[in-house]
Chains A and B, each alone.
Chain A
């Protein structure tokens, strides 16, 4: 039986797709057969971040509508064994997602895969609701910034009331926080919310802290999940988060300012 994870946030632009790509890749790297699904109908982007945009023939909506077989729409990653991408439609609107259709596809995927990762669109409309409805685990992507924290709290409320597990009175969806774009130096200057502040407000366990990093943009430029950039802080932080998700006890890194030596100051290179 596969596990369904939703990567969600409420607010847009906080790093859901970046995190979905990294997390799915991380799970596959550890040997789990993983598929990552783009739920942002009409605004397809996961394919670009994963670097498979030129291999999209059929999509999630085609499969829901019976216009293509699931195997025709699934794209196998060229770098990583066990990793598949199910892209969304660029042309349809979000009404194309029906609960029955999504359930049918998820049921079919769960026969084959260990993990199904749903990349939610922003907002709390149909696409977002469908992406979280069937979830067993939710990863809440949040920036240390007021509007993102508030929207995350809103999405936690939605998970607790409108997911399948909530509606059927099952064990609740597990919720973990992934704090992204964290800048320890700004935190130290009192310009940014601390990890502990966000944890205190949202009151959910911490899965990981991803530091603000130039590696994220570099990785998306070339269509590579940032977790594969093993020298970058962001990549290492994602790798740690995947380990924690799987139950490993890994200490949090990159939450305090790094001491800059003369050498790195001269080079002016930040990982």
Chain B
């Protein structure tokens, strides 16, 4: 065993990993602390706008927030009824908004038609 270990690349120092993990998690926590908590409101209003044009089923709405190093993505997937497909283009909205203080994270809201074509 030890002979094989000898040839293996030295593992990255755990302290380096600790620092990196802390920096990532704390950047988000600080941004969330200082910024206004508009996320739930934004989601609600987006849905309200789409509901004005398309008859959407609230159970078929999927909201996902991905937190990355420099960029956060807000993904809103809304399944539209099949016969409404023609109107889907009008319903799909794209909103861009800077999220944090330090990291210029863009939050993208994508309305997804029944055909699963991402906009």
Contacts and interface: CB of A to CB of B under 8 A. Distances in A.
A218 B39 CA distance: 52
A149 B19 CA distance: 10
B82 interface: no
Contacts of B19: 193, 197, 200-201
Contacts of A197: 15, 18-19
Given A153-B30, A157-B30, A201-B19, A191 B25 contact: no
Contacts of B30: 153, 157
The contact size tier of chain B is 10 to 19
A228 interface: no
B13 interface: yes
A201 B24 CA distance: 10
A228 to B, nearest CB: 33
A177 B19 CA distance: 17
A181 interface: no
Nearest to A147: B22
Contact of B33 (A157, A192, A201): A157
Interface string A178-195: 000000000101111110
Contact of A150 (B13, B14, B26, B33): B26
Interface string A139-174: 000000110011001100100000000000000000
Interface string B1-44: 00000000000011110110111011001100100000000000
Contacts of A200: 19
Contact of B29 (A145, A154, A187): A154
B23 A201 contact: yes
Given A146-B21, A157-B33, A201 B15 contact: no
B22 A187 contact: no
Contact of B14 (A149, A191, A194): A191
Contacts, number: 37
B42 to A, nearest CB: 23
Contacts of B26: 150, 153, 201
A223 B21 CA distance: 38
Contacts of B13: 189-191
Contact of A193 (B18, B25, B29, B33): B18
Nearest to B13: A190
B17 to A, nearest CB: 9
Contact of B15 (A153, A154, A157, A191): A191
B1 to A, nearest CB: 21
Contacts of A157: 30, 33
A190 B23 CA distance: 17
B25 A187 contact: no
Given A150-B25, A193-B15, A201-B19, 14 more contacts: A146-B22, A149-B22, A150-B26, A150-B29, A153-B26, A153-B30, A157-B30, A187-B15, A191-B13, A191-B14, A193-B18, A194-B15, A201-B23, A201-B26
